[in-house]
Amino acid sequence: MVKKMADRNFMEMIQKKWSEGKFVCVGLDSDIDKVRETISFSKFLNFLDGNSQSIYAIWHFNKAIIESTKDLVCAYKPNIAFYEAHGLDGRDILEKTINYIHSVCPDVPVILDAKRGDIGNTNAGYVKGSFDDLIADAITLHPYLGQESLQPFLKLKDKGCIILCRTSNPGAGEFQDLIVDGIPLYQYVAKRVSNFWNKNGNCLLVVGATYIEELRQVREIVGDMPILIPGIGAQGGDLEKSVLYGKDSHNQGIIINSSRGIIFASKGPDFAQAAREETQKLNDQIVQYLQM
């Protein structure tokens, strides 16, 4: 088991990946039904005693995806829901997955997609679970309870605090478009985070590729603050405009996440190779658009 790792600073790690020309974050949204459908064709049945129904198929699936893509990515982002759904075994699979990333590609940061946010003392427990136990490098957070509640996260200078701003789901506007002090709430969140929350330089924002104009507006507000951009691939986000509107003044500053579009690119025994090809293709497109 990988123990707590010293000298890991999320912002430094992600900036190093950008300098290497890597901008793709692979989302490990390893839905057990899709994994079973894929892995039943693969050699990993040998590890499962011929039983593709075992939820530990997720672990062998993740391991193959990581092994195939580890030299191409800027980050991995396991969504905790796909693991918590399986209780203690799911937690074990998540821990194994993160430990494996740290073991085979220690220079690649892990973003825990957990969307935490509660009162301060509860968040202290989330901090321990996310960073001391699971050893993530960054975590997604929601801003609804305000800056004070998130201090247990924000004060950790070496950890990335990725704040939900304009999410990629179709119903995002129900609250995020409400007018606050004359501007939409998502813009107000962007202003608060960039002007007041980011004292340690460890904040990022989430803005979905399905809301291109909003992405452009957020980039204007936050300057060079990094932006995590989900919604590419299965959700149909516009990649070219996401890059053009999302990039910072240094032609970097974006983490383009794709989950299903990469990890389930094939349902056959070539699923890991297909994931690699999709990751390479996506990153090549990003680099091309950055040069425009």
DSSP state of 196: I
Backbone angles phi, psi at 59, to 5 degrees: -60, -45
The single residue listed with the structure tokens 């603050």 is 225
Catalytically annotated residue among 16, 34, 115, 241: 115
DSSP 105: -
Instruction: For residues 94 and 47, give the distance between their C-alpha atoms in angstroms, rounded to a whole number.
Output: 18
CA–CA distance, 249 with 236 (Å, rounded to integer): 26
Residue ranges in the chain assigned as alpha helix (H): 10-19, 32-39, 57-69, 81-84, 87-104, 120-127, 151-154, 173-176, 185-192, 212-222, 239-246, 260-263, 271-290
Is residue 10 within 8 A of residue 158, CB to CB? The reply is yes
Indicate left, alpha or beta for 83 from its phi (over 0: left) and psi (-120 to 50: alpha): alpha
Q: Is 115 a catalytic residue?
A: yes
Distances 247 to 72, 93, 163, 235 between C-alpha atoms, Å: 19, 34, 17, 20
Please give the positions annotated as active site: 115
